[in-house]
């Protein structure tokens, strides 16, 4: 993975060649989060010189989406293992996770054959853990502090 740091006057390019193929990125302020084909999550602080990340294992298959919460130190990742994982940025550990079930009420029969891989994630723009995940079977799953 190559990271461009603008912490100095001239942008610098750094490489993290030992990591798997990056599948998705999310940025907030000085942080860039990524997930890779090996199911790992990495977070770069671009103010570090040079920026570096130690990826942590999370998904049992390819991780395909990632989202940094707009206000809280939380990251969500989703993968082809049907998991959505909430990560605590401070401790770099899993805070919570859930596994999506197949969509039993899909109107389109073609979608019912697709496993519920997590393809997209987004947090509500407020100080809560409300999260929506979009899945390959056509389902949208809404998660909140109470789930």
pTM: 0.78
CA dihedral 74, 12, 62, 58 (to 10 degrees): -40
pLDDT tier at 138, thresholds 50, 70, 90:
confident
pLDDT digits (tens, 9 = 90+) for 85-126: 999 988 888 999 888 765 555 555 554 466 778 889 999 877
pLDDT digits (tens, 9 = 90+) for 16-38: 556 678 888 898 888 999 999 99
Percent of the chain with pLDDT over 90: 24
- Return the closest-CA partner of residue 115 out of 67, 86, 78: 78
pLDDT tier at 128, thresholds 50, 70, 90:
confident
The pLDDT of residue 143 is 82
The structure tokens listed for 45 are: 């602080």
**Which range is least confidently modeled, 11-15, 23-27, 68-72, 135-139?**
11-15
pLDDT tier at 69, thresholds 50, 70, 90:
very high
Distance of CA 32 to the CA centre of its chain: 11
The pLDDT of residue 109 is 52
> From CA 88, how far away is CA 86, in angstroms rounded?
7
The pLDDT of residue 17 is 58
Rounded to a whole number of angstroms, the CA Rg of the chain reads 16
Query: Does the pLDDT at position 145 exceed 70?
Result: no
Q: Which residue has the higher pLDDT, 4 or 31?
A: 31
């Amino acid at each position: 993975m190559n990271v461009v740091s603008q912490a100095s006057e001239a942008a610098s390019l750094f490489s993290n060649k030992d990591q798997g193929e990056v599948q998705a990125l999310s940025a907030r302020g000085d942080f860039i989060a990524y997930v890779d084909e090996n199911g790992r999550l990495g977070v770069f602080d671009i103010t570090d010189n040079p920026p570096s990340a130690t990826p942590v294992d999370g998904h049992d298959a390819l991780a395909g989406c990632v989202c940094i919460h707009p206000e809280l130190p939380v990251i969500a990742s989703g993968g082809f293992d049907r998991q959505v994982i909430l990560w605590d940025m401070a401790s770099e550990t899993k805070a919570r996770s859930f596994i999506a079930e197949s969509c039993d009420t899909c109107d389109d029969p073609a979608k019912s054959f697709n496993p519920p891989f997590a393809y997209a994630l987004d947090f509500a723009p407020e100080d809560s853990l409300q999260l929506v995940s979009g899945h390959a079977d056509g389902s949208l799953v809404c998660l909140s502090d109470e789930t």
